[in-house]
Amino acid sequence: RAHGVPFTHLESLRRQRVEIIDATCPFVKRSQRYAKALQDEGYQVVILGDREHPEVRAVGSYAGGRAVVVESPDDLPDTFGPKVGVLAQTTQSEEAFLRLVHRIVPKARVVKVINTICRSTAARLAETERLARRVQIMIVVGGRKSHNTLELVRVCRLAGIETHHVERVEELQVSWFRARVNVGISAGASTPDWVIDGVAEAIHAIGNPARGGWCGNQADDVHRVLNNS
């Protein structure tokens, strides 16, 4: 799976001579390699992320299972070892990662920072924030527990725009779109295209907009503005 699996699971499968088809996301594989390298160099590994998320559990396993996982920059232990290596779940925000680093630096003699945030995630957040400032309402499509989807919701609301988070088209409410000219849509990285298309088509049906178009700076960015002006 894209999130990866713990190192011990892979080792067990290899011992059993099981054929392994590794579909781990390249960015997650990169995080795993860095976690192992930091551990081998004697660094205490700190990971910013959801401690129960499969990706974080897998990356932490490459640090010998001794990684410290913090879920926010405010969630820090009082003390650290002399050498600290800082990583992030690939779907974390740059802002939270930088705040964490600034809080760790005074607590350790040596701090090695490796930005393991996925470039597509960072680009999607930035593009969504720009989109939110151009429309009157944002619809964010994705799982309720998806970290990167929740980050999209957060940046939209910080922009001061009415924002609704939906998982499927049935959750849309006609009342949201009354007297709205411009509607923006963004979606989490794992949201299927058919779900996004269904939401967009439903909004078209509600407002009968004259035109719609994609905007975004990467092929996998999913940001759509629907105009009925």
Provide the CATH number for the domain formed by 7-117 in this structure: 3.40.1010.20
Q: Among the ranges 4-8, 60-64, 217-221, which has the highest mean pLDDT value?
A: 60-64
Instruction: Check pLDDT > 70 for residue 48.
Output: yes
| Residue 7, pLDDT score | 65
Domains 7-117 and 120-227 share a fold: yes
Per-residue confidence band for 227, with pLDDT thresholds at 50, 70 and 90: very low
> What tokens were used for 134?
């151009």
β-strand partners of 137: 162, 183
Query: 51-98, pLDDT tens digit by residue?
Result: 889 999 999 999 988 899 999 998 888 888 899 999 999 989 888 999
CA distance 172 to 164: 9
- Min mean pLDDT across 58-72, 144-158, 164-178, 200-214 is at 200-214
Residue with tokens 């940046």: 155
| Residue 79, pLDDT score | 85
> What tokens were used for 159?
């922009």
Given 3.40.190.170, 3.20.20.210, 3.40.1010.20, 3.30.70.260, which CATH number is that of 120-227? 3.40.1010.20
Going from N- to C-terminal start, the domains of the chain cover 7-117, 120-227
19 noted as active-site residue: no
| Residue 5, pLDDT score | 77
**pTM over the 0.85 mark:** no
| Residue 116, pLDDT score | 95
- Which residues, at least 6 apart from 188, have a Cβ–Cβ distance to it below 8 Å? 140, 141, 142, 143, 146, 148, 149, 152
The catalytic position among 52, 55, 127, 201 is 55
| Residue 42, pLDDT score | 96
Q: Which helix (H) or strand (E) holds 213?
A: strand 211-215
